[in-house]
Amino acid sequence: MTSFFRNAAAAAGFAAAVALAGPAGAEGLEKPAGFGNRPLTMIVPFGAGGGSDQLARAMAKAMEEVAGISFQVVNKPGGGGTAAIPDFMLAPADGYTVLEHIDNAISAFAAGDIRENPAEDWVPLCMTQITFSQIYIRSDEDRFTDWESFSAYAKAHPGDVTMANLGKVGSMELVVMEQLQEALGLKIKQIAFDKPAERYGALIGGHVDVLFEQPGDVRNFLDAEQMKPILTFLAERPSAFADTPTHKEVGADFDALTRFRGFYVKAGVPQDRIDFLAAACKAGFETEDYQAFNKKKYMHLIDSFRDTDGSIELINNAVASYREMYKKLGIGK
């Protein structure tokens, strides 16, 4: 087992949420001379309303609160998260442009789809969400109601069952589903949707049979009883989903990749601005409002924060894990 998976598994030992105390380190945050006198741009590589968009806006608000800076959030969907990267790379290395991105940037680099190494060409300010994935069905679905009945249906209709997914080749979602299908002898057709609302609408509207997503991203649908999980990709059942089996419990013995989201500036940004923004990211994460947001999104079930050094380690370990799996699956350049 790679150190990435060992760390994820250890973190998934259902760590207690960070205490809802005042933001440690917020006091004494001082802007570098001349910095932050105009709004910063935060680029989000996915559409409005999805998990990345919600995270970016929550963190922007938290950083504004603790550091006295303001953000303009700009959504740039497309290419499974890669369409936003050219805009980010073309921006000046002055700290005024922050990129929110998910692990798909890491998988894209590992597969050779992008040249930029997120641990070297970008500077990760922090990671603020690490979470697991699930498979969802409509709550009123009558062809199958749980994993056992869904698995039987999928085996009886090989290739006909459809799943809404992010869909970029080599992404976490497709790698995990490749592993699941190989382990259990399933054949599920993956349908790619770049925009989160399209994925969710496809399931609710009956255009696809199941959805691959993270619980925090579909919390509203879960609360409204429009969706329900039938499988969790985690070593053990989290307390919030004690009635949902894990992939290992149904016979798929592999270490599932996790989703992680964080914030970056370009390499070359002056160090005092990097230090300020990284400190603001940490202080923002520790605010009561942001902790409440993370808890609402089930992000308190895994130790979700990494500073710059911890983020670099997470990224490098993930790259190694993706490349190892790509070699086995014949993915990559």
Q: pTM for this one?
A: 0.78
CATH of domain 3-18+35-131+258-329: 3.40.190.150
pLDDT in tens, the chain (333 residues): 444 444 444 444 433 333 333 344 444 588 999 898 899 999 999 888 888 999 999 999 999 999 999 999 999 998 878 899 999 999 999 999 999 998 989 999 998 989 999 999 999 999 999 989 999 999 999 999 999 999 999 999 999 999 999 766 678 888 899 999 999 999 999 998 878 889 999 999 999 999 999 998 899 999 999 999 999 999 999 999 999 999 999 999 998 988 899 999 999 999 999 999 999 999 999 999 999 998 988 888 888 899 999 999 999 999 998 898 888 877 655
Is the domain spanning 133-241 CATH 3.40.190.10? The answer is yes
- Residue 262: alpha-carbon gap to chain centroid: 8
Concatenated DSSP letters of 4-60: HHHHHHHHTTTPPPPP--S-TT-TT--PPTT-SSSPEEEEESS-TTSHHHHHHHHHH
- Return the sign of the alpha-carbon dihedral for residues 316, 322, 323, 325: positive
List the chain domain ranges: 3-18+35-131+258-329, 133-241
Same fold, 3-18+35-131+258-329 and 133-241: yes
List the one residue out of 45, 160, 118 whose CA is nearest residue 265: 118
Spatial contact of 258 and 132, defined as CB atoms under 8 Å apart: yes
